[in-house]
Amino acid sequence: MSAALAEQSVIGGCLINNEAYWKIAGRLVPDDFTKPFHRKAWEEIRDAAENGSPFDAVTLSEETSLPLVDLLVLANETPGSANIEAYARIIRERSTVRAASTIVAEAQSKLAAGDLDAIAELSIRLEGLHRADSTAIDFNTALQSGLEEIEQAQARANSSGGIVGAPTGISSLDDRLRGLEGGKLIILAARPSLGKTAMALQAAQSAAEAGFPVGFLSLEMGAGEIAVRAFAHQYQINNTALSLGDNEVVEQLTHRVANNTDKANRIKRLPIYIDEDTFDVGGMLGRIAEWHRKHQIKLVIIDHLQLVELPRDTNRNNGLGEVTRQLKLIAKRLDIPVMLLCQLSRGVEKEQRKPRLSDLRDSGNIEQDADIVIALNGGLDPNHNGMREVEVGFLKYRGGLVGWGGFQQFNGQTQTFRKGIIGYGYDENV
């Protein structure tokens, strides 16, 4: 395949399927492309993706000086985006060969002129070109990086009571995980009404209060409902009554806000950013990149996996597997934790048992993509006025023990998890 055809296939593939960009993001720069039009198109696609904007042929033409006809030709003559990673490798390889050829030609010219100092400089450039194209890291460098991470984690732990990542405010999670660390894809799974969204919102507020900006992608609730739940948690007020506008409860909230203006102002300033309108993985990746650039977010929460929109005629399991793969990649690339909420299959309720990894609904790929899988299990406690005793289980934990750990008491009225019966008897048979 020629370099020009590979370039056309990469750009056309991105125009057809915006999500495909994130498979090769960071691998190519505009100078890797041979044609000026291709260089400009790639630059505009990259900027649009990082800003969270769509970039099909029409929208890209409207936002830039690129001719619509030329963009449409690229899109129409590209068979699809399935092989975009292979096309990107071809572009990068040809770019490297061209750069190397230029350096060698310069070296020959300098050698003929007897300029030995310039020869040494060109040799360094050639070696630098090789290293820039290589992703290999020698073990000594890796060890040094590991020691630096250990020192940083120790410093964070000493300054925050043992928490090294974004704190969740949930004792069963923070005691085990020491906070949510960068680069991790964390799955939080439960059947409906067990409090997974409440747990995620509590984690968002706790992290934001500790200085970790949070991006919250809500595919289920609107921003207003999220705010009502936050009020219920922060001021310990009945969420249902508050959402229905009950006069007594609204008056109670007003009174508590008026009597603690410092808390009210602190809540208003919490660095939590909410998106309620994005439903496809390409849009979510763009929004996360935008938040990271503009607001330096240190935690992303997505509620929830089963509501992510997939392209038509896509196998659901494979499609959701691609979603988890892309979220894992962006978590690693941006060095931030991504918490993805997920539903469990009905078998858990039918068989009246604790959840297993195989109960993760619709996607077996979660098992390989996730660093941590947390499941909730429990039922109504008749002795505690409708509250639940929720057991927290770690079904997968790279770098830690799996098993069922502590209980959390969940008050659905105030959307709050508190420490319950603690029992750290790890059960390896999860």
Interior angle at CA 151, CA 150 and CA 152, nearest 5: 90
User: Which is more confident, 419 or 380?
Assistant: 419
More confident: 137 or 5: 5
Can you tell me the distance from the alpha carbon of 317 to that of 222, in angstroms, rounded to the nearest whole number?
A: 27
Distance CA 87, CA 3 (A): 9
Q: What is the mean pLDDT of the chain?
A: 83
Query: How far is the C-alpha of 240 from the C-alpha of 143, rounded, in Å?
Result: 52
How does pLDDT run across 209-218, given as a tens digit for each residue? 999 999 999 9
Can you give the pLDDT at residue 421?
Answer: 45
Contact 409, 387 (CB under 8 A): yes
Mean pLDDT of 142-158: 69
- What mean pLDDT do residues 38-45 have? 93
The confidence score (pLDDT) of residue 166 equals: 92
- Rounded Cα–Cα distance for residues 378 and 190 (Å): 10
CATH number, span 167-419: 3.40.50.300
Closest-CA residue to 275 (of 324, 223, 230, 225): 223
* Distance separating alpha carbons of residues 362 and 353, to the nearest angstrom: 19
Instruction: Please list the residue range(s) of the chain that carry CATH number 3.40.50.300.
Output: 167-419
Contact 226, 399 (CB under 8 A): no
Span 286-298, pLDDT tens digits: 888 889 888 999 9
For 56, 311, 318, 319, the CA distances from 314, given in Å and listed in that order, are 20, 6, 7, 6
CA dist., res. 337 & res. 361, Å (int) = 22
CA distance 167 to 206: 6
Q: Is pLDDT above 60 for 263?
A: yes
For the cut 50, the answer to whether the pLDDT of residue 430 exceeds it is no
145 is written with which tokens? 């990086």
CATH class in words for 1-136: mainly alpha
Q: What is the DSSP string of 50-64?
A: HTT---SHHHHHHHS
Band the pLDDT of 125: cuts 50, 70, 90. low
Q: What is the rounded distance in angstroms from the CA atom of residue 84 to the CA atom of residue 15? A: 12
Report the phi/psi class of residue 427: left, alpha or beta, with left for phi > 0 and alpha for psi in -120 to 50. beta
User: For 309-341, what is each residue's pLDDT tens digit?
Assistant: 887 777 888 888 888 988 998 898 889 999 999
Stretch among 40-44, 137-141, 379-383 having the lowest mean pLDDT: 379-383
Percent of the chain with pLDDT over 90: 27
pLDDT, tens only, 339-363: 999 988 887 878 888 888 888 876 6
User: Where, residue-wise, is CATH 1.10.860.10 in the chain?
Assistant: 1-136
| Averaged pLDDT, 75-85 | 88
Which pLDDT does position 187 carry in this prediction? Answer: 95
**pLDDT digit string, tens, across residues 363-415:** 667 788 899 999 998 865 555 565 778 889 999 998 888 888 778 888 888 88
What would the DSSP string read from start to end of 93-119?
A: HHHHHHHHHHHHHHHHHHHHTT-HHHH
Sheet with 388-397: strands ordered across: 272-275, 214-218, 299-303, 338-343, 185-190, 372-380, 388-397, 403-411, 416-419
Asked whether the beta carbons of 71 and 60 are under 8 A apart, the reply is yes
Between 16 and 429, where is the model more confident? 16
Predicted pLDDT of residue 9: 93
At residue 131 the predicted structure's pLDDT band, cuts being 50, 70 and 90, is: very low
User: Going by DSSP bridges, is the β-strand pair 338-343/416-419 parallel, antiparallel, or unpaired?
Assistant: unpaired
pLDDT at 40: 93
- Asked if 231 and 224 touch (Cβ cutoff 8 Å), the reply is no
Which pLDDT belongs to residue 422?
A: 38
Q: Output the pLDDT for position 312.
A: 77
pLDDT digit string (tens) for 199-250?
A: 999 999 999 999 999 999 999 888 888 888 888 888 888 888 888 888 888 8
Distance CA 371, CA 270 (A): 28
The pLDDT value given to residue 373? 95
Q: How many CA atoms lie within 13 A of 315 on its CB side?
A: 7
How does residue 133 score in pLDDT terms, banded at 50, 70 and 90? Answer: very low
R_g (Cα) of the chain, nearest Å = 26
